[in-house]
Chain A
Amino acid sequence: MRNVWLILRREYLVRVRTKAFVLFTVLLPLLMGSAVLLPTKLAIHTSSTRRVAIVTSDAKLGAAVRGELEEMRMSEEDDAARKLKNSPSTGQKADKPAFVVRVEDKPSDALKEQLSGELRDNKLDGFLWIAPDAMTSRKAVYYSRNGSDFVEANQVSRGLRIALSEEQLSARGVQTAEAKKLLGPVDVDTVKVDKSGSNKSNGMGAFFLPFALLMMIYVTVLTYGLYVMRSVIEEKSSRVVEVLLGSVTPFELMAGKILGVAAVGLTQISIWMLAAAAMGAGAMAMVGDLMKDAHLEPAVKFLFPVYFLLGYLTYACLYAAIGAIVNSDEEAQQLQFPVTIPLIACMVVATSVIRDPNTQMAFWFSMFPLTSPIIMFVRATVSMPPMWQIVVSITLSLVTLYGLVWLTSRIYRVGILMYGKRPTLPEILKWIRYT
């Protein structure tokens, strides 16, 4: 046990000290953080209150459109963005009025010229030209400096639509207040129904969070699995292994190495979690909202470390065996591909599993030990599978892991002392039978 600990500690310290580790650990949260925060910040920053003019000979219509536009808030600028950001988190800035409106009721070519001039001189952000037949044709033209700002154009057209409809409704004898109610926005919320009752959820979050967690397991399993492999190759090619084996058994060496790299992985994930917590209100509120939206069952928080460790240990064994078989990183390239196939398959089916976690395919992927840590976890984040399925998948995974440890420690034991030509499969099978 002391030997396993010593090897684990060396493996851990050497890896944690490298510049690569420090960079990756620091840079990844920074990158992710800026990917989340920057667009939000930028969106708020660039959208200031816009000055628009409404040109129409119908003064009543002009006033109505003006009323609609002046009621709009920054936070309403984009329905999709609002849903994702859940307006309170975007802060006070968002509650500024979206438009400052003035109405011109004497349309003429001269006015058009004048407004265009103001637009060019940056005194105006846009003007809406409502032709006299607008009431029947329901058509108008919006002039702006930036024709591609569809959000702005959308809002203007929404304002016009509501104003027009109100006027037409009141012409048919409908009260203005009643018309406003009729024309109000409609919200469709998605509700996830599960055993613990129904919970309001949001399609975005319910998809995004399982996917993010899935990526996290996938990336860490792959990265740390490769660390184990490289470490084995390094010890083999530098012949340190010959010195070590005079003091420790191959099994102790392999166990210490795999656990040491696991400790590095857990350290890195913990740092990221802490970084996310410290990242500030914006990012946290967003993640928090998604968590609420996706409505994770409490068990999922317990399942994450379980499936992470199962997945990591399974693949770490396979990668350790590859490291023992080959002589160099180049040789390892070819051999590691078959091992990566189940992982890639997981990524391929993941999207459809998230959409429908109860298909036959999802079931078998969540039972097969090389894919179950990822797919069963994904299923659990979407909707909790029956307990027996989770128990069976974990049991199968543990049994496989036990077999893999036995198998790879035998390959490892012989392989790390073999140099030269890469062994063929029958030769590896022979190694396993050596005593």
Chain B
Amino acid sequence: MAYTLELDRIRKTFDEFVAVDDLSFQIREGEIFGLLGPNGAGKTSSIRMMIGITVPDSGRILAFGEPLSRRTLERVGYLPEERGLYKRMSVLENLVFLACLKGLSPSESERRARRWLERLELGGWAKSKLEELSKGMQQKVQFIAAVLHEPGFMILDEPFSGLDPASSVVLKDVLLDLKKQGKTILFSTHRMDTVERLCDSICLVNHGRSVLEGNLREVKARYGRSSVQLEYEGELPLLKDPTLVSGSNDFGNYVELRLAAGADSQRVLAEAMKSSTVRRFELVEPSLEEIFIDTVEKTKVEKVNIEKTGAVTHA
């Protein structure tokens, strides 16, 4: 299977601060790929190298099987985490300008922009100045800017931020539609629920390194059904028993706990029934959030002194 994007041992340092360290992963053609990681893990630095804004100190990046060049970059769309549009220009002018920079003609840009605006329910706003739009609407415009030139590969940094649930559904449908058309999408996000619903593969980075990667189902299977979701009333002293539980996450309505190595799930149930009324007891694959927190905790290494490097890149 062909890869849309390949990162091969890339490394980027800013003075002594290592932003990306020996990072490798591949994104298959036509898949939705989740790039995850806590704040400052090196996600934005990696993305900037993928779209040619910065160049890695070492390592290799291939897009569509070729080294990055202006020509390959025209087939890449980018949605930055923060709004990156001209506030005092109209929605349409913003879109046409950015699409022209990607090589489209002005008339074709406008035709496509209008079609997309209709699709995302912004048809009446084409002539409005960007600053007159709400945050969520601006986010949609930003999304259109990323897909207007029909790129084969889209990099979307937190595409759902600021969207209301209805708009989120519209955007999700658009993304799935793009996937159906064979486009490749890279997601960078903190929102694990979105990733679980949409992504085929993930890569979790921390301190510039990949700490977990692969097909989402395989990753979760690797953890096995080693988690328990428990809905209860009363007390649960067993959560503090390290021979049974290695970690837990209270979601309010229920608690999700990870079984300690070699612990028997039936003993946990028995213990729980002693101290509380159990409403629901389910053995599950750990949620991605569990895996995320668990992995990040495990890979916590010595914190790099960011202050020392002076100006911090936006991560």
Binding site for B on A (CB under 8 A): 3, 6-7, 10, 14, 238-248, 417-424, 427, 430, 435
Q: Give which listed residue, B48, B97, B310, contacts A421 with CB less than 8 A.
A: B310
Q: Would B313 and A246 count as touching, CB distance under 8 A?
A: no
Q: Give which listed residue, A10, A243, A422, A430, contacts B145 with CB less than 8 A.
A: A243
Known: A240-B85, A247-B102, A423-B311. 6 other contacts (CB 8 A): A239-B83, A242-B78, A246-B51, A246-B52, A247-B101, A421-B311
Which residue from chain B places its CB closest to the CB of A422 in the assembled complex?
Answer: B311
**Given the known A-B contacts A246-B51, A418-B311, A421-B312, are A238 and B101 also in contact in the complex, defined by CB atoms under 8 Å?**
no
Q: Would B101 and A417 count as touching, CB distance under 8 A?
A: no
- Complex alpha-carbon distance, A7 and B98, angstroms: 10
Q: Would B73 and A243 count as touching, CB distance under 8 A?
A: no
- Report the minimum CB–CB distance from A99 to chain B (whole Å): 62
- Complex alpha-carbon distance, A239 and B79, angstroms: 11
Q: Would A244 and B101 count as touching, CB distance under 8 A?
A: yes
Q: Would B54 and A238 count as touching, CB distance under 8 A?
A: no
Q: With an 8 A cutoff between CB atoms, is B274 at the interface? A: no
Q: Would A239 and B84 count as touching, CB distance under 8 A?
A: yes
Which residues in window 274-297 of B have CB below 8 A to A? Answer: none
- Complex alpha-carbon distance, A419 and B76, angstroms: 25
**Chain B residues positioned under 8 Å from A246 (CB to CB):** 51-53, 73, 76, 78
Q: Would B313 and A243 count as touching, CB distance under 8 A?
A: no
**Chain B residues positioned under 8 Å from A239 (CB to CB):** 80, 82-84
Binding site for A on B (CB under 8 A): 15, 48, 51-55, 73-74, 76, 78, 80, 82-89, 97-98, 100-102, 145, 310-314
Q: Give which listed residue, A238, A247, A421, contacts B98 with CB less than 8 A.
A: A247
Q: Would A243 and B80 count as touching, CB distance under 8 A?
A: yes
**Given the known A-B contacts A246-B52, A420-B311, are A240 and B84 also in contact in the complex, defined by CB atoms under 8 Å?**
yes
- Complex alpha-carbon distance, A422 and B85, angstroms: 24
**Chain B residues positioned under 8 Å from A248 (CB to CB):** 101
**Chain B residues positioned under 8 Å from A419 (CB to CB):** 311-314
- Complex alpha-carbon distance, A15 and B54, angstroms: 30
Q: Give which listed residue, A14, A417, A420, A422, contacts B48 with CB less than 8 A.
A: A417
Closest 3 CB pairs of A and B: A247-B101, A239-B84, A243-B84
- Report the minimum CB–CB distance from B151 to chain A (whole Å): 10
**Given the known A-B contacts A241-B84, A243-B78, A423-B310, are A417 and B73 also in contact in the complex, defined by CB atoms under 8 Å?**
no
Q: Would A242 and B84 count as touching, CB distance under 8 A?
A: yes
**Given the known A-B contacts A6-B101, A14-B88, are A424 and B76 also in contact in the complex, defined by CB atoms under 8 Å?**
no
**Chain A residues positioned under 8 Å from B86 (CB to CB):** 14, 238, 240
Which residue from chain A places its CB closest to the CB of B98 in the assembled complex?
Answer: A243
- Complex alpha-carbon distance, A132 and B2, angstroms: 119
- Report the minimum CB–CB distance from B105 to chain A (whole Å): 11
Q: Would B84 and A417 count as touching, CB distance under 8 A?
A: no
- Complex alpha-carbon distance, A6 and B99, angstroms: 11
**Chain A residues positioned under 8 Å from B55 (CB to CB):** 435
- Report the minimum CB–CB distance from A424 to chain B (whole Å): 7
- Report the minimum CB–CB distance from B5 to chain A (whole Å): 14
**Given the known A-B contacts A6-B97, A6-B101, A239-B83, are A417 and B53 also in contact in the complex, defined by CB atoms under 8 Å?**
yes
- Complex alpha-carbon distance, A379 and B85, angstroms: 46
Which residue from chain A places its CB closest to the CB of B130 in the assembled complex?
Answer: A238
Q: Would A418 and B313 count as touching, CB distance under 8 A?
A: yes
Which residue from chain A places its CB closest to the CB of B54 in the assembled complex?
Answer: A417
Chain A CB within 10 Å, residue with most, of B48, B84, B100: B84
Which residue from chain A places its CB closest to the CB of B55 in the assembled complex?
Answer: A435
Q: Would B73 and A247 count as touching, CB distance under 8 A?
A: yes
Q: Would A427 and B310 count as touching, CB distance under 8 A?
A: yes
Q: Give which listed residue, B87, B97, B145, contacts A238 with CB less than 8 A.
A: B87
Q: Would B311 and A14 count as touching, CB distance under 8 A?
A: no
- Complex alpha-carbon distance, A3 and B98, angstroms: 10
Q: Would A242 and B80 count as touching, CB distance under 8 A?
A: yes
- Complex alpha-carbon distance, A246 and B48, angstroms: 8
**Chain A residues positioned under 8 Å from B102 (CB to CB):** 247
Q: Give which listed residue, B52, B89, B101, contacts A3 with CB less than 8 A.
A: B101
Q: Would A238 and B84 count as touching, CB distance under 8 A?
A: yes
- Complex alpha-carbon distance, A14 and B100, angstroms: 16
- Complex alpha-carbon distance, A247 and B84, angstroms: 13
- Complex alpha-carbon distance, A238 and B313, angstroms: 15
- Complex alpha-carbon distance, A248 and B74, angstroms: 10
